[in-house]
Every structure is written in structure tokens, then in C-alpha cells.
Structure 1
Amino acid sequence: MKNRLSSFDILALGFMNFAFFLGAGNIIFPPLAGAMAGEHLSLATLGFLVTAVGLPLITLIAVAKAGGGILDMAKYLPAKVATVLALAVFIVIGPSFATPRAALVAYEISVKPFLDNSGALSLAIFSVVFFAIVTYLSLSTGKLLDMVGKVITPLLIILLVILSIAVFLNPLSDFGPATQEYINSPFTKGFLEGYNTMDTLGALVFGMLIINVIKSKGIEDKKAQYKYLVIAGCIAALGLTFVYVSLFYLGSTSQGIAADVTNGGEIIALYVQALFGSQGLILLALVVGLACLTTAVGLVSAMAEFLTTLKPNWNKKLLVVINCALCALVTNVGLSQLIALSIPVLFIIYPVAIALVALTLLDGFITKKKLSYRFVVSIALFFGLLDGLKVAGVNMDSFSFLPMFEQGMAWFLPTCAALVIATLVFKDSSEKIKQAA
């Protein structure tokens, strides 16, 4: 047993964490958000960074504090409820949405532009090949640090730096006018757009995977695992911030070449082609392909780790193969349809995840833990459900009196109030006497 990682291993761990987070949503949503934010770029970017960088980093810290994954964080909820919640998170970021989305974005940007006749057959073939590679890379968690952190991610970072420097040095136009919700509430709109990256949910599952990678390097001390997970999270946060600011700026200065485009993938493709010519599309294909591949590997590996935690007698390799087969099948639904289906689900599950993270971080101030956890999570779920139904198109006008309901954040104030009640009102009698004295 050892208690220290080398500086190179620490950097590689951070790179691996960054690569797991940098996937499909991280690339396709910021350019479109930047284009729509226009002159209100700063506030929109700041709002996006809160949910797409700040919350995932805080979540990783909460996972490290809990000493494991989402089940450790939800241990004060009823066992079955905690298991269902964890499964819901894994299904959303696994075969239902996030992992197939990574493959779809890789196909749309890295493969489709180079095909003369793209269609259902080419997508089907690509999905099989993509997830065959994901299966191969996911089968050995112990080698993930060496394969992803030390080889694939450094190449990805070099490509991203080239792209980002070119965008800042050669913007293609001035900022355009803000549109839609970005006119009056750019920060809130940016905040909600950050949901689409699914990175807070990803942090709930990547944390456990990274701890297992740290263990595979011989680090068994809990304090050391916490330290290295937090360091890896900070490295990933810095990298993501650099990428998001670059892509928002790219989108906001794309009016001259992509004024009528409504897809972030198309915006970035047109921009790169204008900067670098047809060779730029090859650069972009490499960036997107590697980013989506590493994210898919992280998600598939994390789900296999989680399921074997629930059922230790299950075969991890078989779970990886089954998961990848399901993801390949769902990939053929199509990108637009998948995004449309995922958004209402995210509006429901994100408040619950945020509430669970807040409870974990405030755990030392909570005395009646079972009551507090169940109360706060129930409030977050109820109001998150209202937001999700509204986004799904259900008529929710009778709830329009709720603060921030129109912005899709009806959960925020009630959940904050529930947290205050849990920490200040739900006290054991012995604790109240102690405070009075």
C-alpha cells in the first residue's frame, strides 16, 4: 500500500477526469448559447459556468466527502428510494441519453461531413464500431488512467488549445444581438443551459470511478483518496472553463457565417471551416471524436462499477458489453429526438441531485439526518417535477404564481428553504439544549 501518487499520475488523473466530462453536450450547447446570447455573452457564460463547472466540481467534492458514490450520499434515504434514485441517474447518463448522445455527436461532426451518402445505414455501422471501441477501452478500469489520462487526453487538449487560440485571435464577426430569453435573463438562461451538459449527474458517477482508479494505483488511505479526487476535480474544472469560454466566444462571433443556424454542432463546423478551410474539419473531427469517445468510456465504466457494487456476483465485463449494445441501439434514434426527450427528465432530476449534494456538504450541521434528507429531497423532487412537466409541454399555468416558475427554476427557493429548515429547525433536543447553554 502507498499513500502518494507521482506528479505525473496526479496530472494524468486530472486529465482523465477532464476527458470524461468533456463530451457531447459540452461541445454542441455552448456555441449555440453563445450565438443566442450575443451582446449579453458575459452573463450567459457566467450562468452556464455555474451549472456546467461549479456544480460538477462541488459534486465531486461531495462524493469525496461521502467516501464513495451516490449510494453513500443517499444513505439516509430509504434503501429502496436511494437505489431507485441512483439507478435513475445512471440510466439518464447511461444508455438512455448521455452515452448515446456522445456517439451521435461524434457521428454528426466527425463522420457525417466526410460521407457522400449518409443515412440510417451509415449511422448504424458507426454506432457498432464506436461502441466496440468503447467496450474495448472500458473492460479494464485499472488501465484507464494510462490509456485515457496519459495518451488520449493530452492529444485532445493540444487540439482544443489550437482551436481556442485561433478563435480568440481571429473572431469572424462582432457580437450579434441577444435573442429569446437571453435578452432579459441571460444569467438564468445560461444557468439552465448548463443542465444539458449533464455534468453534475456525471460527477455523481465519475467520482466513484475515479476513486476506484486511485485505489488501483495502490492508494487505500481515505484522506489521500479525498485529496486526489479534489485535485482531479479542480484540474477538470479549469479545463472545462477554458473550453466553455472559448466555445461561447466562438458562438457569439459566428453571426457572419452562421446567422440562421440553430444547431451548435453546425455552428462550430462552419466556424472551423472558415478559419482553417477543409483541413479544419479534420481537426474538428479529431477533437469531437476523442471527446465523445472518452466520455462514453467513462460513463460505461462507471455504470459497470455501480452495478457490480449493487450485485457483486454480476460479471463486470458482460455488463459493459450489454450496456454498449443498448447504447448502440439507442444511438440510432437520432440526435434531435434524443435531446428533446432528455430535457424534461433533466429538469426533474437535477434539483434532486443538487439537493443531495447540498445535504452531503451540510451533513455536519444536520442532526436529524433521516428526517432532513427525506424532507429536502422530497421538496426538490416535487418542484422539479413541476418544472419538468412545464418543459415537456404540459399546461402548468395554475402554478405560475410560484417564484421563478417561468424561468424553469421553481425548485430553487423551496429547496433552499427546506435546507434552512433541515439545518436550523430539525434539531435533536440535546442539541437545542446545548446551543441554549
Structure 2
Amino acid sequence: MSKPLQAIRGMNDILPEQTPLWRYFEKTVADLLDGYGYRQIRMPIVEFTELFKRSIGEVTDIVEKEMYTFADRNGDSLTLRPEGTASCVRAVMQHSLAGGGQVQKLWYQGPMFRHERPQKGRYRQFHQIGVETFNLAGPDVDAELIVLTWRLWKKLGISEHVKLELNSLGTSATRTVYREALVEYLQGCYDELDEDSQRRVLSNPLRVLDSKNPDTQALLMDAPQLEDYLDENSQTHFAGLRARLDAAGVPYVINPRLVRGLDYYSETVFEWVTDQLGAQGTVCAGGRYDGLVEQMGGRATPAVGFAMGIERLILMLETLGKIPEALSRQVDVYFCAFGEASELAALNLAERLRDELPQLRLQVNAGAGSFKSQFKKADKSGALYALILGDNELESNTVAVKPLRTDAEQQSVAWDVLSEHLRNNLCDDAALN
């Protein structure tokens, strides 16, 4: 027998019972970003490979080991995007969105692709929401990005379970001086470093600071500190960011070894981390990348942004039991009709209700069936109410409204006041709010 067709390992289906939570999360984020004046941009999933080599850095793990790269029929090297910032910068440059110092505050969402070992919270196809701003150089916009994520955590009910870590990487010039001092130190204890850190000593030494190996971390206790190499402007910028977070009441800790995994970061870097997801503790991260636009061939443009992993945040909501109760039901009202004439009337009434109550989730029974079978489907749908239309109701131009989740009595309601009756009762249940 042929092998059953299945999804690619690490690329998962999101099933109908899961999508309500995804839609709730995505809408919560979109509404929040709208409220802060950010506009959505949508970029292609596939880009020229050179884009990521030039932006992320050829000696990063992503470019060296994790990208899905292939040659198309024209012989061009193409890559499924491993992250969104490079694509967003490319789009901003291509369409001159930041020309003449024009400020842009953008956001995007969609799938990213990295060939990693799949595990809980880390997949080969994963989804991110990213936010990027251009032509804003001060710490005020850095603070705004962090404050709006803090507001998001409070909206989702998870603020007590995340921690903000901050650091400043300084400018590329100060980082070059620091890099030389760090390499000199690491070469002095090279044989004691773990294998990954040894590989990075010359190619990407700052990533050694982020090593998860406890022996390497112990060696780094006496390593040069990046904060000692920051110039006055970087120190002022970082102090301004901290002052604004203090004013907004956002708690944070300074992590001097936080460097992020991409070469393009400078000045501010930050991560929101949690202890609720095991090894995959970072749920949102970002920072400033003032040199990236110029590095990619454009004019020097200050920029800062972040990305959050949707799968990890969904998993966190599930782990903490922070799923709104309304998401557990498919519909608010289930319409049961018995007999041909009642089915025709139910169809007409249902469309009238949809006109008068646009937010109502109303399902009309399909496939006929006995009273018992229709009620079984109504209950399974999770609906709060069942509408019943049979010969008696048809004759009196009424509908029986039966509560399915409480012990309240069934009521007979005239057709012309049915929408008002549902509005009053469903608003009480927060279904139409």
C-alpha cells in the first residue's frame, strides 16, 4: 500500500477547533495596533535569497543552516522567508515608503520558515506578527513598542507570567571595539568553550554571550562587559528608554548578555520571556536596527521593531487557561425547523435576523432530522439558545426560544420582535458585545 499523505514534519494544520483562538488572538493584536496608529503591510512569502544573506548575515545560524532555499526555473536562488523584518525593509525601500524622512509605522503577520528540529513551541512553519517603524530615532518609539506589548499582555491576561529583558548593543562602531576585546578574551579560554561557541569566536562572537551552555556562561563571568564600551549617545538613548518605561509602569530587568540572533541589531534590544513554556521561553523580541536600510543599499534610516510568535502565545493562553469562554461555542443560536413549510420560514427568518443582528452567529439546521437529532446537534454546537419552528409555531407566527445552557424557561416569541428578544438576552450573555 502507498504511504498515507501527511503534512511535512514541523508544518502543522490548524484545525477548526483551534482557529477561534487564533482569530481571537490575531484580532486582539490588530485592534491594539490600529489604536496606536500602525498600518498593515503584506509581503510575499518567497524572496530572493540574497535579501536574507545581506540583512541577517551570512554567518548566522539562520542563513547557514535553517533556510528553505531552492532554485526556480529561471535559475534564481529563492528562499521561504525565515523572518519578516528583511522583507518589510525591502518593501519600504522598493516603494520609497520612507523617502524624504517619511515616518512609517507598519505591522504584518503570516508564516515564516526555518528548518529546525521540531519541538513544542518551535516549528518549521511558524507564524509571527511583526511591527516595524522607520525614521524615528529616539527612545520614545522604542518605549512605545514595549508599552503596547505590555498592554497586549494585560488584555490577554498573561502579564503576570512574562518578564521584560533589556540591553543596549550600542552603535556598530562601539560594538566593533567591544568585539575585539571579547574575541581576545574568548581566545584565551578557547579550549574550554562548547563547540558552538568555538565556531562563533571569529564569525559571530557576540552570540557566544547568548550561549545556553552553563560551563560557557560560567567562563563569561569575567568577560568584558558591553555596557563599558557604550558611547555617550548610546548611554543617553538607553537611559531615555528606561525612564519612559519607568514612567509607564512597565517592569523590566537589564540583561547584559542579551544580544539577539540577527546581525542587524544596534542600540536597544529586548525580549519578553516566560517560564510557562519550558525551553521555548521567548514569546516576543526585537530591537533597533538603524543601519539595516543602508546595509541593504538604501539611505541611512533609523528603524526599530519586534516580532511575536503566535504559536507560543497561543500555547501560553492554553496553558494558563486564558481562553475566553465564548470561544468554546461555534454559534450563539441554533435554528431547528420541522417540515418543509417550517424550513422555508426558518430560512427567511434567519436571513432577517442576520440583517438586524450582524454580529449574531446563527446556524440553521441542515439535513432535516427528528426533534431529538436536531437538538443533539444544537447542543453540540455550543449555542446558548435553540430556536424551534414547527407546525404550531408556524400557524401562530411565533418561534420557541429555548435556553440551552441555563434552567430558564422556554419562551414563545413573535417573529416581529425576535431580533429584539435575542439582542436583549445575548447582550446579557456578552455574545453580541
Q: What TM-score bracket applies, with the shorter chain setting the length?
A: under 0.3
Structure with more strand by fraction = 2
TM-score scaled by length of structure 2: 0.21
TM-score (norm 1): 0.21
